[in-house]
Structure 1
């Protein structure tokens, strides 16, 4: 069958039978609903039969309150002591710059002072230069060094797997007996066959 004679979609004869099946199903559903409409309304409007008594409600409420009041409270563990807050931190975005670094701006000719200042300033991490994260990329690693000091080492990290499995433990050994040097061709001898 060529592409020009191929039909797209459902054959018109099948469309009619499909539409007839849908209409038949709709009429069957509608007839069932009309037949059972009174019974469905009774079920929907019936008051709930399983009402919880007020005594049980008050007992559960009192038990919940007692559990909350008598719960074991434990203090939060401090990970690190917060740095003392500078009074100008709420108005300023950046922490104050060290006066020795600020003097670098005015030393040198033309742009040398500014370049030296920026080189010194970039050596500090963003959490040492700013009070809060200024962009979303700073969130990763923010105040990381405070937590690194208290982290414990795990036995599964930083093992030299490649060194132990790949390199020889006894150093360089002699070549095996079955190994031979590759053949070396001389520039004066031609081995080509024409």
Structure 2
């Protein structure tokens, strides 16, 4: 018959070890109690001195008051973007009709309309090359999507291929005939 449970000697050994550990913890706590209370009741030193706060505030005010203000450039009067021989940006030029969406719209919706239109385009139509590593997945995949072979183990559209007709509705086959009904021309033997 197999043994069930833990031997009583092992249980007593575990109890003795736990009691010994508890006594050592209590001894350490009593020895270091004053030091722990001093650390716990110590006032916080994270307060920022007032002169540092005032200097930071004055620097922020100076940065805003002395900022260089540039007039807003209208899209119709903007200089041409392409400079011969200059290194162009990462993004392809934006269509002017899409750019005008920024300045049109009610209740400041222009930015949202512009971004919505830009997101409808594929990344390879917006950028000259992959800007970040996440663009590499799927970059120019539409060129190769039609040449990819189906895998034998992946998900497939079984019902679509077996049930639906690819060529549309066809005529009835030659062997199909209407069922005969009761008429004087049909001879029935019973």
TM-score (ref. length: structure 2) = 0.35
TM-score (ref. length: structure 1) = 0.35
